[in-house]
Amino acid sequence: MTASERIARAEEILLAEHRKSLRDASAYELHSALSKACMLEIAPAWRATEARRAEGKRAVYLSAEYLMGRLVFNNLYCMDILDQAREMLLEKGVDLALLEEVEDTALGNGGLGRLAACYLDSAATHDLPLDGYGLRYRFGLFKQKIENCRQVEVPDDWTRYGDPWSVRRDELAVVVPMKTGDVRAVPYDMPVIGYKSGKISTLRLWQAESLQELDFRLFNEQKYRLAASRKNQAEDITKVLYPNDTLKAGKQMRIKQQYMLVSASLQDMLRQLDAMGQPLEKFPDLFQAQLNDTHPSMGIPEWIRLAEARGVSFDQALDLAKRIFSYTNHTVMPEALERWDMDVLSSVQPEIARNLRRIDEACRRECGLGIVEDHQAHMARLAVYGSHHVNGVAEIHSELVKKTVFREWYEKFPEKFVNVTNGITQRRFLGLCNPELTVLIKSRIGDGFLTDLPQLKNLLPHIDGMKEEFLQVKHEKKRRFAAFLKGHAGVEISPDWIFDVQVKRLHEYKRQFLNALSILDLANGVRDGSIRDFYPTVFLFGAKSAPGYVRAKSIIYLINCVAEKINADEQLREVMQVVFVPNYNCTVAEKIIPAADLSEQISPAGTEASGTSNMKLMLNGAPTLGTYDGANVEIVAEAGMENNFIFGARVEELQALRDYNPRAIYEAEPRIRKVVDTLVDGTFPDPDGGLRELWEALLNGASWHRPDHHFLLKDFLSYQEARLTANRAYRDRQHWAEMCLKNVANAGKFSSDRAVEEYARIIWDL
């Protein structure tokens, strides 16, 4: 199909649905018409891919979230028609940039969901039989607003103008049984288009609906709210991603979500098995199910329920489960490992609670280890026991998985444990979001790196001749981000300053708190003259906190208070600016990552499983300012310690610090004491006591945590030294460009193409 034929088809759709021309259409009308035209074009290839995969072994990705971002540009890019579409529309007086107004597909939060999206992209590009299952959240996570320095959550109604990239499949709906009432799970299929491959994977998203739309008897009795209550209760299940679960009702809602995901997905796979005419015993030879973290681990007891309903014994069902499921672990922090109270589980799905107890008994008989302890179901233990492989997501993380959190399990089942380092899709996070850098790379080594990222190594001999062009590209991306930020948040920044970037979900272990305290210390140094010739820097943050995560929200408040104070100071604003970018999402990431000069990856060693923002920033030419943690270790191994800025205690040192006393550091270091005390000395207003709680958490401990649980004060001075080293290094523009380009050239390992191939070979046996 030619470009003009595609645009003509979009025009026909616009006329039929809205009675408008291209020039008259709104952003959402144009988006709908163009998307539907593309859906018509890809339909034969999508159907062919689906039919071919139905004949053989395939893998499915089970994930609570998929951070798909804005689909239209990515899909046009993967179809290799983005530039053509842009040119054809311009000829008709329409700027494709109008579609920047369109909402992101709000089905994810952070790295977990983006990883899932990247893996589906890579599988489609390289024709690996992998499809995804998830939930179709009505309001996604939330839209973040900043009011009075605080995060405010508002619903993200991403489908209010339609969802042209999804196909509702009523004929494939299934019933999910729950104690509170059965629910109808309706699938919506979303295409994941392979880059120039003609292959299309499917992301099947389940939407919860009621079996009964309206109770007419109650309605006729004028009990209107009761008449619709069952419908509303069912639909609530897929209203919001990660609902606040501080109370029992929230916990029940999360369990309902997780159970619906796995029950509907397994029922769907069993339907496909039946269509192939294969017995249940053949299921592991035809389907491999990857658990993306513990959210879908309820699939193991649900599989047993479904298998027993087909006449299989418990022991046979459990044996089959161990051949079907594999588990990706994303954390070694004990407090982050999911646990559910058995009574709460029973209140949602008593059969699942019963099967969990039976699995626990079988596990104890087999290896002496338990899954249910103190009336709590440990979902990570369930995932380890019920899977044939358990993988970490970076080399250091996989070793910690074996040595710490799952040490006893590793001793019993060493053959299960493997490593697959995370990866990102270079199509979206280089080709699409940084076309200028992509063109520069193509001019030296061709375009093979877009499907074979290790080809970037071929850049190494060309670096000396690319530096000036690279600096020009980087400045242009900074200029464009500055323009975006002015429109997005009303904030003006200079593209001539260093862009120091920390973008990731807000969590204490990610240490945005350390970054904020560090900025205060830098400000003190600039004021008193102990820091001289500080290269002007914009400190950029992007992060959302879970709605019920009180300390994380206090850190957001602190960052915005620091921003207000520094940005209003006449002396400081000549060399420093702090900006919290509101509503950080995939689309914002695609704008800020190419513009970044410095990549902040500062979690304490041994806490970040891998990270993927570090890879995206590396690929776009930002050296890492980070700890020896997660994939940072491998980034340094690939690109060289000399081309990054590594600081802080190593994991072995932190593990040995049994008597760590942050108060001793606080009392011995006046600089540290001064910035820490800003939390309680009236520097910033603290009407709800959130800043004092942060102070208490550092020095006295809070909740069940020991003081300074994430070693902020331990790493503080080392961080400052590395930060100032990076600031000085930036002045030598040619050497800085060389560091950046060596990071780009050595980013080949971090493609999701490599990661998915490893899953297929090592774990799924495809």
In the numeric block, the tokens 């049994």 are attached to 658
Q: Which residues make Cβ contacts (< 8 Å) with residue 761, sequence separation at least 6? A: none
Catalytic residue among 612, 624, 627, 678: 612
Per-residue pLDDT tens over the stretch 176-209: 999 989 999 999 999 999 999 999 999 999 999 9
Rounded to whole angstroms, the Cα distance separating 278 from 64 reads 29
Our answer to whether residue 143 is catalytic in this structure is no
Rounded to whole angstroms, the Cα distance separating 637 from 710 reads 25
- The closest of 574, 512, 502, 565 to 539, measured between CA atoms, is 502
Q: What is the pLDDT of residue 141?
A: 87
Helix 550-567 and helix 512-528, axial crossing angle in degrees, nearest 10 = 20
Catalytic residue among 70, 381, 388, 505: 505
What percent of the residues of the chain are helix, what percent strand, and what percent coil, each to the nearest 5? 55, 15, 30
Contact 380, 337 (CB under 8 A): yes
- The closest of 364, 366, 410, 384 to 322, measured between CA atoms, is 384
Contact 731, 532 (CB under 8 A): no
- The closest of 337, 399, 133, 327 to 759, measured between CA atoms, is 327
* Both tokens assigned to 22: 């291209």
Kindly compute the dihedral angle of the four CA atoms of residues 126, 129, 135, 140, in this order, to the nearest 10 degrees.
0
Our answer to whether residue 504 is catalytic in this structure is yes
Q: What is the pLDDT of residue 714?
A: 97
Domain boundaries, the chain: 458-649+681-746
Q: What percent of the chain has pLDDT over 70?
A: 100
Q: What is the pLDDT of residue 224?
A: 64
Catalytic residue among 504, 507, 511, 709: 504
The DSSP output letter for 403 is I
- The closest of 321, 407, 310 to 356, measured between CA atoms, is 321
Q: What is the pLDDT of residue 705?
A: 84
Q: What is the pLDDT of residue 229?
A: 77
Q: Which residues make Cβ contacts (< 8 Å) with residue 177, sequence separation at least 6? A: 263, 349, 351
Q: What is the pLDDT of residue 702?
A: 82
- The closest of 454, 393, 459, 446 to 426, measured between CA atoms, is 454
Rounded to whole angstroms, the Cα distance separating 206 from 189 reads 9
Q: Say how far residue 61 (Cα) sits from the centre of its chain.
A: 15
Longest dimension (CA), the chain: 81
Q: Which residues pair with 189 in a beta bridge?
A: 167, 204
284-to-133, 279, 329, 526, 624 alpha-carbon distances in Å:
17, 11, 21, 63, 42
Q: What is the pLDDT of residue 227?
A: 66
Q: Which residues make Cβ contacts (< 8 Å) with residue 431, sequence separation at least 6? A: 77, 438, 450
Q: Where do the H-state alpha helices sit in 126-236?
A: 216-220, 224-227, 229-236
Catalytic residue among 330, 591, 710, 749: 330
458-649+681-746 topology per CATH: Rossmann fold (3.40.50)
Q: Which residues make Cβ contacts (< 8 Å) with residue 5, sequence separation at least 6? A: none
User: Which residues in the chain land under pLDDT 70?
Assistant: 224, 227
* Both tokens assigned to 269: 């796979």
Q: Where do the H-state alpha helices sit in 276-298?
A: 283-286
Catalytic residue among 9, 136, 616, 749: 616
Q: What is the pLDDT of residue 703?
A: 75
Contact 743, 643 (CB under 8 A): yes
Rounded to whole angstroms, the Cα distance separating 431 from 593 reads 13
* Both tokens assigned to 363: 């596990």
* Both tokens assigned to 661: 């006393």
Our answer to whether residue 616 is catalytic in this structure is yes
The DSSP output letter for 406 is T
Is 436 buried (19+), middle (13-18) or exposed (0-12) by CB count in 10 A? Answer: middle
- The closest of 460, 462, 458, 442 to 450, measured between CA atoms, is 442
Side chain identity, residue 214 = L
* Both tokens assigned to 321: 């489960």
Question: Strand 58-62 vs strand 287-292: parallel, antiparallel, or unpaired?
Answer: parallel
Is 51 buried (19+), middle (13-18) or exposed (0-12) by CB count in 10 A? Answer: exposed
Contact 567, 524 (CB under 8 A): no
Contact 68, 144 (CB under 8 A): no
Catalytic residue among 136, 510, 591, 723: 510
Per-residue pLDDT tens over the stretch 461-490: 999 999 999 999 999 999 999 999 999 999
Per-residue pLDDT tens over the stretch 588-599: 999 999 999 999
Contact 521, 568 (CB under 8 A): no
